[in-house]
């Protein structure tokens, strides 16, 4: 009899419109019976709880994606046209990828060859790199060096330094950076002096302010068209590009 009663209560509650089901209207005994029925059902059907948690997570991720799209829209000028970040790939490409980078970030180092490969194979991607040193003194030193080279020697020199910093072994020091300058034929003293300049400091500060507004706290972070991807895309960068293009029609 008790089983029949609790099952009936649960069935009625699930079948009734949300507005018609009022737990407050239950008596204490009905409420206790209903709670026990729900518990028994979940214990006998644990996959229901897993499904509910998965549905909640899917909704959370969807909400975050929409919020991130809004951030990209709001700060699009600073993201895509800041006037100081290095631009590579096809400057007239139909899709822009922006990457926030830190040279001491292992994930950034790991994905760097994939970024270059996708951009080269696609041929229609505009690539923007934003220096975002967040992993300590060596990160800051490396970014200052790369930016100083860009400001003094131009975009091709910057990309050469960018690649070198990702593959270098050992600590980033004034001595190791001077060695890179000498290897690549730069004026090591001029670059070293530029590293502490207001122009370099201002570029890093601008990127950090943008990251703060976009709630970016790690590297690599990608903006692919209208999409903000926090970390390396789980499906791979090429697949992420295809998905964005498909969504854009």
Query: In what side-by-side order are the strands of the sheet with 221-224?
Result: 86-89, 125-131, 95-101, 221-224, 227-230
Q: 99 phi and psi, to 5 degrees?
A: -125, 125
Residue whose structure tokens are 């994606």: 65
Q: Which CATH fold topology does 74-248 show?
A: Glutaredoxin (3.40.30)
Quote the pTM value. 0.76
Per-residue tokens: 92: 């007239």
The domain segmentation of the chain, as residue ranges, is: 2-72, 74-248
Instruction: Tell me the per-residue pLDDT of 122-165, one tens digit each, with 9 for 90 and over.
Output: 999 999 999 999 999 999 999 999 999 999 999 999 999 999 99
d(CA 178, CA 201): 20
User: What does the pLDDT profile of the chain (249 residues) look like in tens digits?
Assistant: 444 444 444 444 444 454 556 777 778 787 777 778 777 777 787 786 677 677 776 676 656 667 889 999 999 999 999 999 999 999 999 999 999 999 999 999 999 999 999 999 999 999 999 999 999 999 999 999 999 999 999 999 999 999 999 999 999 999 999 999 999 999 999 999 999 999 999 999 999 999 999 999 999 999 999 999 999 988 999 999 999 999 887
d(CA 100, CA 221): 5
Instruction: Tell me the per-residue pLDDT of 92-115, one tens digit each, with 9 for 90 and over.
Output: 999 999 999 999 999 999 999 999
């Amino acid at each position: 009899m008790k089983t029949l009663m609790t099952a009936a209560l649960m069935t009625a509650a699930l079948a009734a419109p949300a507005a018609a089901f009022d737990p407050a209207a239950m008596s204490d005994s009905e409420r206790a019976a209903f709670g026990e029925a729900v518990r028994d059902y979940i214990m006998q059907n644990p996959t229901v709880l897993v499904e509910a948690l998965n549905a909640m997570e899917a909704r959370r991720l969807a909400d975050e994606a929409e919020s991130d799209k809004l951030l990209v829209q709001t700060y699009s000028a600073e993201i895509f046209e800041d006037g100081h970040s290095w631009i590579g790939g096809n400057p007239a490409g139909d899709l822009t990828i922006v990457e926030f980078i830190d040279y001491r970030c292992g994930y950034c180092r790991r994905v760097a060859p994939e970024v270059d490969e996708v951009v080269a194979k696609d041929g229609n991607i505009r690539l923007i790199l934003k220096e975002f040193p967040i992993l300590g003194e060596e990160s800051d030193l490396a970014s200052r060096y790369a930016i100083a080279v860009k400001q003094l020697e131009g975009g091709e020199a910057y990309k050469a330094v960018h690649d070198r910093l990702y593959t270098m072994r050992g600590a980033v020091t004034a001595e190791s950076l001077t060695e890179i300058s000498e290897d690549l034929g730069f004026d090591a003293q001029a670059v070293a002096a530029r590293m502490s300049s207001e122009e370099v400091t201002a570029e890093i500060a601008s990127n950090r302010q943008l990251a703060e507004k976009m709630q970016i706290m790690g590297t690599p972070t990608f903006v692919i068209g209208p999409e903000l991807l926090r970390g390396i895309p789980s499906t791979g960068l090429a697949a992420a590009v295809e998905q964005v293009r498909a969504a854009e029609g």
